């Protein structure tokens, strides 16, 4: 938790733990309708979405959602002239609670939807991380879900290191080899618990 906020992350990754290719583009091989349906339903229940300047969930309901868009181009909090329910946020200058309050949001789920640096910022803080894996896709040289992901360290290894533990794996799209595992924070299980936000 961050104050009154429950912190939940959402990502779909390739078998090698990537969320995008080396150019920062999310390839079709890790886009999946069942995962999109899950994500869009979950985001409808979030109080606020949090993401970097190059990430966006899309879909018809996206314009209605309240969101904080991370950028270092402002000092703390600023309006986003292109989106009425969005604010630009620099965590170095304002807390999540301060930024969300400016959107009229005081509690609930803060949905963290990437990309890599934003997933990393919240690693010590996730109450849950919903990790979808597209087992038939690989993106050599791509952008990892967490910066620590490497041939010797999977996204699961990173989540364990930060004190989360896996729930039951769910088949979202068996034909495509797409599975969903929700990881939950287990108190006192973290090897690293320093607060970043």
Ligand X SMILES: NC(=O)c1ccc[n+]([C@@H]2O[C@H](COP(=O)([O-])OP(=O)(O)OC[C@H]3O[C@@H](n4cnc5c(N)ncnc54)[C@H](OP(=O)(O)O)[C@@H]3O)[C@@H](O)[C@H]2O)c1
Cα–Cα distance, 185 to 174 (Å, whole number): 27
> Which listed residue (22, 71, 98, 150) binds ligand X by CB under 6 A?
71
Where helices occur in the chain by DSSP H, the ranges are 33-44, 96-102, 116-121, 155-161
3 forms part of the interface with ligand X (CB under 6 A): no
State yes or no: residue 63 binds ligand X (CB under 6 A). Answer: no
Q: In this structure, how many other beta carbons lie within 10 angstroms of the beta carbon of residue 165?
A: 11
- Measure the CA–CA gap between 85 and 87, rounded to whole angstroms: 7
CB of 35 to ligand X, least distance (A): 9
d(CA 137, CA 27): 10
Stretch that binds ligand X, among 98-106, 113-121, 168-176, 187-195 (CB under 6 A): 113-121
Nearer to ligand X by Cβ, of 110 and 118: the residue is 118
Considering only residues 89-108, where is the footprint of ligand X by CB under 6 A? Answer: 90-91
The 12-51 contact track toward ligand X, x by CB under 6 A, reads x------xx---xxx---x--------------------x
Burial of residue 151 (number of CB atoms within 10 Å: 0-12, 13-18, 19+) = exposed
Sequence-distant (≥ 6) Cβ neighbours of residue 119 within 8 angstroms: 9, 11, 112, 145, 146
Q: In terms of CB distance, is 103 or 197 closer to ligand X? A: 197
Q: How far is the CB of 92 from ligand X (least distance, A)?
A: 6
Residues within the interface to ligand X (CB under 6 A): 11-12, 19-20, 24-26, 30, 51-55, 70-73, 90-91, 113-118, 121, 143
């Amino acid at each position: 938790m961050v104050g009154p906020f429950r912190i939940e992350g959402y990502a779909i990754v390739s078998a090698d733990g990537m969320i995008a290719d080396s150019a920062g583009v999310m390839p079709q091989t890790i886009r999946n309708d069942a995962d999109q349906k899950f994500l869009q339903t979950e985001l409808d229940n979030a109080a606020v979405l949090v993401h970097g300047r190059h990430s966006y969930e899309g879909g018809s309901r996206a314009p209605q959602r309240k969101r904080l868009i991370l950028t270092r181009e402002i000092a703390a909090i600023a309006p986003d002239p292109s989106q009425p329910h969005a604010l630009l946020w620099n965590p170095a200058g304002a807390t999540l609670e301060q930024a969300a309050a400016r959107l009229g949001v005081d509690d609930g789920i803060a949905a963290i939807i990437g990309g890599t640096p934003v997933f990393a910022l919240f690693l010590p803080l996730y109450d849950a991380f919903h990790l979808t894996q597209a087992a038939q896709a690989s993106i050599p040289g791509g952008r990892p879900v967490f910066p620590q992901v490497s041939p010797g360290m999977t996204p699961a290894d990173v989540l364990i290191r930060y004190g989360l533990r896996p729930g039951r794996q769910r088949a979202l799209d068996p034909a495509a080899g797409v599975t969903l595992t929700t990881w939950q924070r287990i108190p006192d299980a973290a090897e690293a618990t320093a607060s970043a936000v």
